[in-house]
């Protein structure tokens, strides 16, 4: 499928990352980190620049959705990436001069619209970060007061109990043996809550080391009256599950259950002739989920093991009318099982480079099977992106170049609109 590289430049902004903003950061530093991350935009010289311009339209669509839903950081990142791409990076593309004048003019108009919006959003985020930082400082102050209060109670209770424990070294009635009693001050608290550290879930666990001779045993104290203040996890920066750039995981792609059935029915005549059929999966962003709402069957040329779209402008025009985002593609294997061939890998690569959640759906009618696939992000994506071979050619199978797309969720009740452009 030749049109794959045009897919959503929204994805240029969609690299999965670790959390880059924390409530305990100075607001200006927090904003700087967000801007630095947003400026990380690359342009592949092997992808036609016109397709970046097409994808930029979808990038803004997603940014506007995030803004309307109140996900300001996600919207700001997309706006900044859009500006970085089209004010700076795209001009370095070797084929930049081939972009039609009218396309550049439309892009310039969009830039004039985005620039003030991004500046306003920057101020909103800065105010939000200041509020977060003030709230963080207040929480730390309250936790510190609570810690001192609990420490005082624990120390007092131990101190009051010491005389009675010293009168019984054999463990009289109602008293534990002296050997089991903790001396006053053995329960030590950190001077500052900031000194409490937590393991980083992204790092491998450290190898255990022997405790220092002076360290108290890690077992719980035998005297239940000794109150050990619980660590309040609220001191750790929270992770908003709705935050695209904090989650470090792919957004869910919701696929209507009828997609495979309807597509195979529409491809049946080609399947009987041993010809592949392909289609585009498009939809919308809603509440940080990518929802397939439309299946577009474009004009195309197919063989027994490949399929290429034609008249791509028809697809673009239709998606523009409904503000649709391209979420992936679907095709048949008339005589084979469901997997990604070497040609399929190269077809899908631009989809996933531009949108990490992009999915490749393969239907195998002869075997009554269908699969959702994606390139492995740690190996397959980079390997195929750097491969310059065309047509069918062998690739190494280890490590795997593709895998099942586990972020796809099939919803049998989701509506689907099917558009067949082949007869138009």
Q: Is residue 220 one of the residues assigned to a domain?
A: no
HSE at residue 226, side-chain half, CA atoms within 13 A, is: 20
Lowest mean pLDDT among 62-76, 229-243, 330-344: 229-243
Q: CA 326, CA 290: separation in Å to the nearest integer? A: 10
pTM: 0.69
Decide if 302 contacts 271 (C-beta within 8 A). no
pLDDT of residue 403: 96
Q: In the predicted model, is pLDDT for residue 106 greater than 80?
A: yes
How does DSSP classify residue 8? -
Distance (Å, whole) CA 94 – CA 96: 6
- pLDDT tens digits for range 190-206: 444 344 443 444 444 44
Q: What is the mean pLDDT of residues 241-254?
A: 65
Q: How confident is the model at residue 249 (pLDDT cuts 50, 70, 90)?
A: confident
Please report, for the domain that includes residue 313, its CATH number. 3.40.140.10
Q: Are residues 256 and 196 in the same domain?
A: no
Question: What kind and span of H or E run contains 158?
Answer: helix 101-166
Q: What pLDDT score does 160 carry?
A: 64
Q: Which domain holds residue 368?
A: 249-424
Tell whether 34 and 127 lie within a shared domain.
yes
Q: How far apart are CA 39 and CA 352, in angstroms?
A: 20
Whether 3 is in a domain gets the answer: no
In a domain, 209, yes or no: no
CA 350, CA 309: separation in Å to the nearest integer? 15
Q: What does pLDDT average to over the chain? A: 79
Give the residue among 354, 251, 363 at the shortest CA–CA distance from 297: 363
Q: In which region does residue 359 sit, left (phi positive, over 0), alpha (psi from -120 to 50) or beta (all else)?
A: beta
Reported as a pLDDT band with limits 50, 70 and 90, residue 263 is very high
**CATH classification of the domain holding 113:** 1.20.58.80
One domain, residues 54 and 185: yes
Task: State the CB neighbour count (10 A cutoff) for residue 82.
Answer: 27
Contact 250, 16 (CB under 8 A): yes
Please determine, for residue 24, whether its predicted confidence score (pLDDT) is greater than 60.
Answer: yes
Same domain for 183 and 314?
no
Has residue 110 got a pLDDT over 90? yes
Quote the pLDDT of residue 195.
Answer: 44
State pLDDT tens for residues 267-304: 999 999 999 999 999 999 999 999 999 999 999 999 98
**pLDDT for residue 379 is more than 90:** yes
Give me the number of domains the chain comprises: 2
Which among 422, 386, 410, 132 is positioned nearest to 297, based on CA atoms? 422
In this structure, are 264 and 164 located in the same domain?
no
5 occurs within a structural domain = no
Q: How far apart are CA 346 and CA 244, in angstroms?
A: 27
Q: Are residues 90 and 163 in the same domain?
A: yes
Cα gap 353→270, rounded to integer Å:
30
pLDDT at 391 (0 to 100): 82
- In this predicted structure, the answer to whether residue 351 has a pLDDT above a threshold of 70 is yes
Q: Rounded distance, CA 360 to CA 354, Å?
A: 14
Looking at residue 94, what DSSP letter applies? Answer: T
């Amino acid at each position: 499928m030749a049109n794959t590289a045009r897919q959503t430049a929204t994805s240029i902004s969609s690299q999965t990352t670790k959390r880059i903003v924390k409530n305990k950061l100075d607001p200006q530093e927090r904003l700087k980190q967000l801007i630095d991350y947003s400026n990380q935009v690359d342009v592949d010289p092997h992808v036609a620049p016109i397709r970046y311009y097409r994808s930029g339209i979808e990038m803004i669509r997603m940014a506007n959705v995030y803004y309307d839903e109140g996900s300001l950081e996600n919207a700001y990142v997309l706006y900044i990436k859009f500006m970085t791409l089209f004010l700076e990076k795209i001009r370095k593309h070797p084929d930049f001069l081939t972009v039609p004048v009218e396309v550049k003019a439309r892009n310039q108009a969009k830039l004039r619209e985005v620039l003030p919006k991004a500046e306003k959003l920057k101020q909103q985020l800065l105010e939000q970060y200041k509020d977060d930082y003030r709230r963080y400082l207040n929480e730390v102050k309250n936790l510190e007061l609570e810690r001192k209060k609990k420490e005082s109670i624990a120390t007092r209770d131990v101190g009051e109990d010491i005389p009675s424990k010293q009168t019984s070294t054999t463990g009289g009635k109602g008293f534990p043996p002296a050997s089991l009693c903790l001396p006053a001050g053995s329960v030590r608290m950190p001077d500052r809550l900031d000194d409490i550290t937590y393991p980083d879930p992204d790092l491998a666990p450290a190898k255990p080391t022997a405790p220092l001779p002076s360290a108290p045993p890690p077992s719980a104290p035998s005297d239940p009256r000794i109150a050990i203040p619980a660590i309040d996890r609220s001191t750790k920066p929270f992770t908003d599950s709705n935050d695209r750039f904090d989650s470090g995981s792919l957004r869910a792609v919701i696929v209507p259950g009828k997609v495979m059935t309807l597509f195979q029915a529409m491809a049946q005549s080609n399947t009987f002739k041993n010809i592949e059929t392909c289609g585009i999966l498009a939809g919308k962003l809603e509440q940080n989920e990518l929802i397939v709402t439309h299946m577009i069957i474009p004009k195309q040329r197919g063989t027994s093991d490949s399929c290429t779209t034609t008249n791509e402008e028809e697809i673009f025009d239709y998606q523009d009318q409904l503000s649709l985002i391209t979420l992936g593609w679907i095709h048949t294997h008339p005589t084979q099982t469901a997997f990604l061939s070497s040609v399929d890998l190269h077809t899908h690569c631009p989809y996933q480079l531009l949108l990490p959640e992009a999915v490749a759906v393969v239907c195998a009618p002869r075997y009554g099977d269908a699969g959702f696939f994606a390139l492995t992000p740690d190996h397959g994506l980079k390997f195929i992106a750097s491969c310059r071979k065309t047509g069918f050619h062998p690739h190494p199978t280890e490590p795997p170049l593709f895998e099942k797309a586990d972020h796809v969720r099939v919803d049998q009740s989701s509506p689907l609109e099917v558009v067949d452009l082949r007869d138009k």
